[in-house]
Structure 1
Amino acid sequence: MKRSHTPSALVLVAALGTIAGTANAVDPMPVNQDGPVDFIPTLKVSQGYDDNIEEAPDDKKSSNVTKVAPTFLLRAQERANRYQLRYTPTFQRYSHDSDDNRVNHFATATSRLTLNARNRVNLGLNARRNQATLSDTNRDFDESEGDINERYTLDGTYTFGARGAKGQIELDGSYVWNRYSNNLVGGSNNRSEEYDSPRAGATFLWRVAPRTQLLIEGRYADFDYTWSGSDLNSTNLSALVGARWQATAKTSGSVRVGQEDKDFDDAGKEDTDVTRWQAQVNWRPAPHSRVRLNTANSLEEGSQTESTSSGENTIEQTTYGLSWDYDWDGQVSSNVAYRFRDKDYIGGGSDGRNDELHTVSVGVSYSFRRWLDFGVETRFKDNDSSLDGANYDRNTYFLTATLSL
């Protein structure tokens, strides 16, 4: 198969050193802005270059890439209640090989209901179908395409207590259907990762200052695997304490810390517990400058081969992120971001494996018209794994145009 070469325009992009994550300045106009329901279509077109489309450690395959991502948004408001339906298909075309072409889908429906001053309800349903890049497991078993994950989530949150009340209670629940549409038998054995997961949580908030609330939170998640050969059925319980605050108009954030326990139904599997945390700090040193810091640590689900001798029971995942958005003037804005993800594999044949992924992204956006933005996006990824076949680096460079009515 023939490899693509980097076009001269993209060489210039690389020299400029700009990358993904820009904030669009497009101000879309609804099709029927005087109607009861707003319909807002937008379109993002990206043309670029990917130097390692399969995230392979060796024998890298590069390609020119075209992405077309229309977004269709329906929104309505009735008094204080808000409703929204959004659908975004993403078409990706690779000049290297048409077999790599794909279409990913993401749809979400949400409603925010204010019943009265003390009672509020948020409801949501989202669905996604995403084809991942080839993984080390796909390559080990000569699978021709990355795993296609289909995930559906139904969730709701009920809040009791006025917005400025001394105390508030938040109750939330959700149900997750996790499925795959390829690589199900043998090789990746993706049927081992299909599960149903009911979840629930409760948070009590206590206002200790006009802009600060302390919180106590409990969370429950059950994982019921559909494959008869799986022994990963388990229950996760978490208890956390923390705070939310908006100290000034410039600074806001939240922090939670506690413990998460995973108890397996199979007595032969060792239960796991980790320190769980989640924190986010937003800082706006000037009206045109925004900084965000976030970090989290929690348990992720494992996987199994058909013999159950490989795979992992669970994964402890730690993330750190830092981003900076800056508006240079009324037309030009930029974004710089860094993300670090650390994955420790626990149990099974992968016990002791560690992956450290570093991602740096930068972008520049130019607002040419109210309805049209041009941008430059690049992203640099480097994965350092204790498994030789999982080490890789990947760089992408894109020119973008975002259009609306």
Structure 2
Amino acid sequence: MKFKNSTSITLLAVFFSCNVSALEPASIKTESGVDITPLLESKYEYDNNIFNSSSNEKSSTKLVVKPSVNFQMIDALNTFSMGTYVESGTYFSSSDDNYLDGGFEAATHLEPSSRDRFDFKYEYDFKTEQRGTGVSEGLLNLLDDPSEFREQNTDLRYEFGGITSSRFALLANYQDIRFTNNRNLTQYRDFDERLLGGQFLYALSALTDLTLDASYTGIRYDLIDESGVTRDSNVKELLVGVRWEATALTTGVAKIGYQNKSFKAFERGDFNGVSWLVEAQWAPLSYSTFRFTSQAGAVDPDTFGDYIDQKGVSLGWEHTWSSLVSTSAVYSYTNDDFSGVEREDDSQELVLSVIHNTARWLETSMYYTYQDKDSNLALFKFDKSIVGINFKVSM
């Protein structure tokens, strides 16, 4: 799934499966007030279709090692944090697909007065897009190595008004992606996005707000592909909704509205339609939580077509059985209807996890993932299973 500038429902499966973690990392507390928290994550898994192939599937075991460290300082209502990580992936049956990723993040939250709040976040990552995904989806034979890219994300938010009263926020986001290899294919997918927006929150009560969101996003690609038709576009979106934390049992946000995606090239078809976002959590018991997410809108494809009219839904359940054992189950469904090409995909994913809180500083989990993509184009159909074990080690 793609859902740019928003939460990917596929990634929510990972979020849900990890959210039940009871790991309590200890920090190194410095005299300056900075808390330093190191963490080591590693997983060993078996994937029976590492390239998401429709035929002639290739399987492999894989070892991932990810050390990270986070620095945080809290000064009354103000928070400052930085973090960095390195991730190494080793495929034992496909060494050409081994990778080394890494990144850096800095964030701050400032409250200079009771009516002013400022949030800033910057992320820089160098990542690997595995063969059979993204720009190489269905085009595996064109690449000998996975595609590597760097990504920058900057988020700004300024909010004015009392916490329990009506308030207004200004938003800005900048995203920049540049591929560094496989340029015969990836050079046409270098792009940047600039978003400007505003949000008005009308307080119905201390814990419930009506929301009105408006945003404008400019998407610009560095190069025009061999078709000679630019992919540059402008996206306007207006959403109205509600945000609530009515009781300890339920929290969430629900928004619906209108999205217009207009291309600079008249040869490409514009999108005008309904978009929405729903994120809800229900905890009928202190040790059991259900989560529901749904999202719809137009996004850019990685391969062919003008845009994807994308709709998705995800349902997750987390349950703590004892002080040592918890489980997570997440089901996700996505429909991708492509404009500009005759293609429609239906994707499903199921993620099951069992987490064992071995010690305060050690968490062990086992997981199973099943993915299935159906498409009217046989090239993009596939199914796969992943089974693995994951360790998190802290101080």
Shorter-chain TM-score above 0.5: yes
- What's the counterpart of residue 11 of structure 1? none
Q: What's the % identity of the aligned pairs?
A: 22
Contact 1:192 1:303 in 2 (8 A): no
- What's the counterpart of residue 157 of structure 1? 157
Matched, 1:340 2:333: yes
- What's the counterpart of residue 177 of structure 1? 176
- Helix, strand or coil for the counterpart of 1:232? coil
- Helix, strand or coil for the counterpart of 1:202? strand
- What's the counterpart of residue 394 of structure 1? 384
> 1:21/1:37 Cα in 2 relative to 1: closer, same or farther (>3 Å)?
closer
- What's the counterpart of residue 224 of structure 1? 220
- What's the counterpart of residue 243 of structure 2? 244
- What's the counterpart of residue 307 of structure 2? 314
The AA in structure 1 aligned to 2:101 is: N
> 1:35/1:365 Cα in 2 relative to 1: closer, same or farther (>3 Å)?
farther
Among 338, 348, 367, the residue aligned to 1:358: 348
Matched, 1:202 2:171: no
- What's the counterpart of residue 128 of structure 1? 125
- Larger Cα-atom Rg: 1
- What's the counterpart of residue 282 of structure 2? 283
List aligned pairs for 1:93-132, cutoff 5 A.
93-132=90-129
- Aligned equivalents of 1:55 and 1:362: distance in 2? 20
Contact 1:254 1:281 in 2 (8 A): yes
Give the deviation of 1:130 after TM superposition.
Answer: 2.4
- Taking structure 2 as the reference length, the TM-score comes to 0.90
Among 328, 336, 341, the residue aligned to 2:321: 328
Among 35, 40, 61, the residue aligned to 1:64: 61
Contact 2:297 2:311 in 1 (8 A): yes
- What's the counterpart of residue 308 of structure 1? none
The AA in structure 1 aligned to 2:80 is: Y
Among 21, 26, 31, the residue aligned to 1:24: 21
Contact 1:21 1:362 in 2 (8 A): no
Contact 2:371 2:385 in 1 (8 A): yes
Give the deviation of 1:143 after TM superposition.
Answer: 1.0
Aligned length: 374
- Helix, strand or coil for the counterpart of 1:302? coil
Contact 2:108 2:120 in 1 (8 A): yes
The AA in structure 2 aligned to 1:195 is: F
- What's the counterpart of residue 382 of structure 1? 372
Runs (5+) with no aligned partner, structure 2: 1-15
> 1:93/1:141 Cα in 2 relative to 1: closer, same or farther (>3 Å)?
closer
- Aligned equivalents of 1:46 and 1:263: distance in 2? 43
- Aligned equivalents of 2:200 and 2:68: distance in 1? 37
- Helix, strand or coil for the counterpart of 1:115? strand
- What's the counterpart of residue 51 of structure 2? 54
> 1:150/1:387 Cα in 2 relative to 1: closer, same or farther (>3 Å)?
farther
> 1:210/1:78 Cα in 2 relative to 1: closer, same or farther (>3 Å)?
closer
> 1:36/1:219 Cα in 2 relative to 1: closer, same or farther (>3 Å)?
same
- Aligned equivalents of 1:399 and 1:267: distance in 2? 50
Cα RMSD (Å): 1.8
Deviating above 6 A after TM superposition, structure 1's stretches of 4 or more consecutive aligned residues are none
- Aligned equivalents of 1:30 and 1:403: distance in 2? 13
- Aligned equivalents of 1:344 and 1:146: distance in 2? 26
Contact 2:53 2:138 in 1 (8 A): no
Contact 1:214 1:243 in 2 (8 A): yes
Give the deviation of 1:302 after TM superposition.
Answer: 3.4
- Aligned equivalents of 2:358 and 2:207: distance in 1? 39
Contact 2:138 2:379 in 1 (8 A): no
List aligned pairs for 1:7-46, cutoff 5 A.
21=18, 23-32=20-29, 35-46=32-43
> 1:20/1:57 Cα in 2 relative to 1: closer, same or farther (>3 Å)?
farther
> 1:120/1:182 Cα in 2 relative to 1: closer, same or farther (>3 Å)?
same
- Aligned equivalents of 1:117 and 1:312: distance in 2? 48
- Aligned equivalents of 1:213 and 1:20: distance in 2? 29
Give the deviation of 1:37 after TM superposition.
Answer: 1.0
Give the deviation of 1:33 after TM superposition.
Answer: 5.4
> 1:163/1:22 Cα in 2 relative to 1: closer, same or farther (>3 Å)?
closer
Contact 1:69 1:90 in 2 (8 A): yes
Contact 1:20 1:379 in 2 (8 A): no
Contact 1:221 1:235 in 2 (8 A): yes
- Helix, strand or coil for the counterpart of 2:49? coil
Give the deviation of 1:228 after TM superposition.
Answer: 4.5
The AA in structure 1 aligned to 2:377 is: L
- Aligned equivalents of 1:106 and 1:320: distance in 2? 29
Which is further off, 129-138 or 365-374? 129-138
> 1:144/1:284 Cα in 2 relative to 1: closer, same or farther (>3 Å)?
same
- Helix, strand or coil for the counterpart of 1:191? helix
Contact 1:303 1:313 in 2 (8 A): no
The AA in structure 2 aligned to 1:315 is: I
- Aligned equivalents of 1:375 and 1:303: distance in 2? 33
